[in-house]
Structure 1
Amino acid sequence: MPKQKLRAIIAGLALLNLLTIIIFVIKPLITSKSVIGEETAAQVGSKDISRDAWMNELEKRYGEDVLEEMVDKEVVKQAAEKYKVKISDKELDRELKMMKTMYGTAGQNLNKSNDQLRQEIQSSLLLEKLLTKDVSVSETAMRDYYDNNKDIYRIPTAFHISHITTSTKKQADQVIRELEKGVSFEVLAMEKSLDEFTANQGGDMGYISQDNEQVSKEYITAAEKLKVKKWSDAIQTEDGWAVLYLHERIEGKQYEYEEVKDKIHRQIALEQIQAPVSGKIFWDEFDVEWFYGLKEEK
């Protein structure tokens, strides 16, 4: 999956996260006996900001984009059923691994389970297949593309880790003692880690590998020895000490031509048709009725 498409997936996931937040907020309001608009979301001096005003502002800013994302997803699903386009588990596994290892640190911000990520990737791949199903690409062109871009189809051995950084070994050893007593790694990272950026994420660093030049060799060495769901001994680094936790290990692999042949076909075909990778092309076919007036012309 090209980098720009992976970025689009990540942006889409962030958008859907926003939708989840909106639903979480709206649901209790719908089931509440009180009337929306009579409740106060915030107070500034003597001025109240009502929940109704808040919800209206959220819809005005993000509602169209979120609804469009939902419409596209449903359109792609229906189009795939109509044209009998499917994605195999093997394809999903490959794309998920490539996404994680290529955009390692992005993983800490997705807050999605593997199942949720697979669903998002499946929708993206279905759309690509639908757009390119009638495009012819020669075997020679696909083979040449693979030979010239083998690195695209290689994933390094990668480790999804969290860390807690301290200034002394004594502090790192204290962290380990608390972990042994059952204290959550995430909670300890928020409370004790000197790395403020990852501390806010519960210590989550995303996926690291030897391809990550900004990751210390000590981390890679420690991660290679760790078992999944286990933490490390105190590790000395250039900046002090650290304790690592291994969430997941992905074994490196060079995919052979036959394994990624269909993917290459889609990549070349998309370049040939020069069309945006969007479900809007199917809107008319599946009778989409759009709530927002700005889209009526489409």
Structure 2
Amino acid sequence: MKLIQSTDKTILCAAASCLLLMGGALSGAEPPAPASVTLPPVVAKVNGVEIGIDQFWGRILNTAGTAVLTSLVDEILLEQEADKVLGLAAKKGKVSSASKKFNKEIQERFQTFRKQFDDEKSFQAQLIASGITVEDINKQLRLDLIKEKLLEDKTKSNPAEIKSYFDQNQDRLAVPEMAHLKHILVSTEQEARDLLLALRVGADFELMARAKSLDQATKDRGGDLGFFAQGMLIPQLQERAFALEPEGVDIVRTNQGFHVIKVVEKRPAKQAVWDQETRENIEKLLKQAKFNQEYPKYIQGLRSQADIQVLLNR
């Protein structure tokens, strides 16, 4: 269901979680080999026309083979460099102190990520829906941390850089007006009007949402959509949501149906303030920008120095 506009801010927020959900192993040990898959000579038939296994694999190799292989090569190069530079390699068969400290940091990051979910049930449900495992998450956390540590010196910012960014970007750093919304989605205008009338005479919004809403993603939490800033919602919802006062309810029609919305709370816009939190946020932003600039050069340098033999027969 599309209620949110696709903006740079929402894409960045989504990307942050998506990046964590890409791969896995908490220790430096090799993950277990995947079980072998046996495919039939003919993988599909379309009105009697066969799609053979050779055609199937050939298309996969042509469309994704190089990218997948490059990604696997880069992971090995980064692990090898981390062993040398960060001291993660085992010493005389024992896990190094640097590796123990490194793994502890991964565990802490995993716990921070895990706290985004209300409980273990919702966490496991998200894993199943995404087709990933805890090991996948930890593997990506490990890879991200390796990259971060290896490029640490290249991504630092000094106080003057941070202050300069603040001075030049105060409009972007300001906090916009925010509205906390709940909604009940129904299919007809009459249903929406009946709900609106019931709410205006005292019916409980959350109970009504659980009983009546067609939005499966929000009905179990009483229709709660969370906080939104100007520009994040689709126009129909935004116009009405920001016109209502807190506790106000109304009906909005979209291509999904009729939404009975409630404004739970509003937070006024705030100008950017030069404080510790702002400095830390700018530092993180600059670090990411520098990383995006430096990492391609760094990994290319590792590739150029490595003995890489591509044996894939394409």
Give the TM-score of the pair, scaled to structure 2.
0.45
Give the TM-score of the pair, scaled to structure 1.
0.47
Structure whose residues are more often helix by fraction: 1
